[in-house]
Amino acid sequence: MQVPRARRRSASERSAAVFDALRNLLLEHPWGDVTLEAVARDAGVSRQTLYNAFGSRYGLAQAYALALADALCDLIAVTIAEHADDPRAGLEAALTLYLETSVQDPLIQRVRSGDAHHDLVRVVTTDAAPLLGRVAERFEEVVRSTWPVVPAERAQVLARTLARIAVSYVTMPPEHDEPPAALAAGLAALLAPTID
């Protein structure tokens, strides 16, 4: 009897395994101590596979940040869709979700605590253009699909503004330990008239 060969993982499955491995390593070690060899071992891929997919540790950090942004945008899209009839409530719920959820990620925790390697800080500061672009594009899709009456140029401006707000809270936590719900309510009150 022939033993069936194990199914090969798709590229997206390999990437998910790599990002899970990286996240788990970041929970225990600073970025400077995380090696591609350790990520590859824990993800069950070769080091060459990592180099082929990401190019370098910095490339891996950028890809991880984009994957995290996509995951958060998916959650935000669902939350906003649940409040399609009330833009202010939708924005408030989405911003609260973002502020409460994003801080749980080890990469964001390290950046906020000042315990981040300069590679991680660059991803969300000087080299943040790809991240901002991705988040703005995703937010614009959500705004236009949830509230199609919003003019395209307004949807774009709102999406870019939300993207910049989101990334700014990665590098700098809210002032005076303001609770996420209170901060989200204030931002939603400011931004909702764009949709109304």
Q: What is the pLDDT of residues 128-169, one digit of tens each?
A: 999 999 999 999 999 999 999 999 999 999 999 999 999 998
Give residue 6's pLDDT: 44
Give residue 142's pLDDT: 95
Task: Dump pLDDT digits (tens) for 79-132.
Answer: 999 999 999 999 999 999 999 998 888 888 888 877 777 888 888 889 999 999
| Pairwise CA distance, residues 17 & 62, whole Å | 16
Give residue 7's pLDDT: 55
pTM: 0.86
Amino acid identity at 44: G
DSSP 182: H
Continuous segment of H or E residues that includes residue 96: helix 87-102
Share of the chain above pLDDT 70, in %: 95
What are the b/e assignments for 138-159, b being 16+ CB within 10 Å?
Answer: bbbebbbebbeebeeeebbebb
pLDDT at 173 over 50: yes
